[in-house]
Amino acid sequence: MPALKGPACVCCCMMLASWVLSSARAQEPLQLATLQREALDRDPRVREFALQNEQSGLRLRNIEVERRPAVSTLGLIQYQSDVPTPPPVAGQLASRPPKDTYDISVRVDQRIFDPALEPRLALAKADLAESQARLRVALFSLRDEVNEAFFTAALLQEQIGALGATLADLESRLRETTIRVREGAAIPGEAAAIEATLLQQRQQEEELRANKKAALVRLTSLTGRPIEADAALALPALDDAVAQARQELERLHARPDTSSSRARAIARRGSRN
């Protein structure tokens, strides 16, 4: 077999590396933070932040320019076919007026006081804040959709895992019961009952897998990333966040003002009784 040399070898190495990377990525469990970031990067509304900032910057610069002096020039050229001629003096013309005239003027305008300038700047900044807040709300709904699809698939994944253990137990019991029926130690109805339960659980497993596939298809449409039906999902670690929230709650309850207000409320309630 001839050895590959030059560009052919480089091309094969690149194809092999891309295949290895794609396989490794496909085997990695899906992370919620990664899916949220990919969904936001794919959404074209994210680019509106930069466009809104640029638009607001231009609007503010246009308003700020009005504070600067405005210089304007005006030029006028006229040509007359006939002009009056002064009478001659001693038989000679003193001067002959020109038929063309030139007029050039320069004007400088400077605003000394404009009470509407600052409110206009504040209005432009408020419009930018409102537009970006509205956009953040829209993007938050996108994150909510990703969260809903992810946790739906994760819940179905756990249910499929638990159901898999049940199926394995039922299959083991069916084999044992079948052997006992063959040996005459059990009646065929026992094996039939176990087999019916096994078929019912397998049907439920197929329904769970179909629902999980639908949730993963929803994640694919949101992130633009191909996700296989058997992809594993890794639940986010919330232990640190929960512990921090509990510490904050305990610190809040330990405040003197909170304790005193609670004692006053209890005393007030007792005096009413």
Single pTM value for the model: 0.59
pLDDT of the residue at 4? 47
Per-residue burial over 194-230, b = 16 or more CB atoms within 10 Å of its CB, e = otherwise: bbeebeebeeebeebbebbbebbebbeebbeeebeee
Q: What's the CA dihedral at 127, 128, 129, 135 to 10 degrees? A: 110
Q: Give me the count of residues in the chain.
A: 273
pLDDT in the model for residue 1: 42
Would you tell me how many other CB atoms lie within 10 Å of the CB of residue 176?
13
pLDDT computed for residue 47 by the predictor:
86
Q: What averages of pLDDT result for each successive group of 10 residues across the chain (273 residues)?
A: 48 47 59 89 85 89 86 87 75 74 88 86 89 87 91 92 92 91 86 92 94 93 89 80 78 64 60 56
* Strand-pair partners of 89: 92
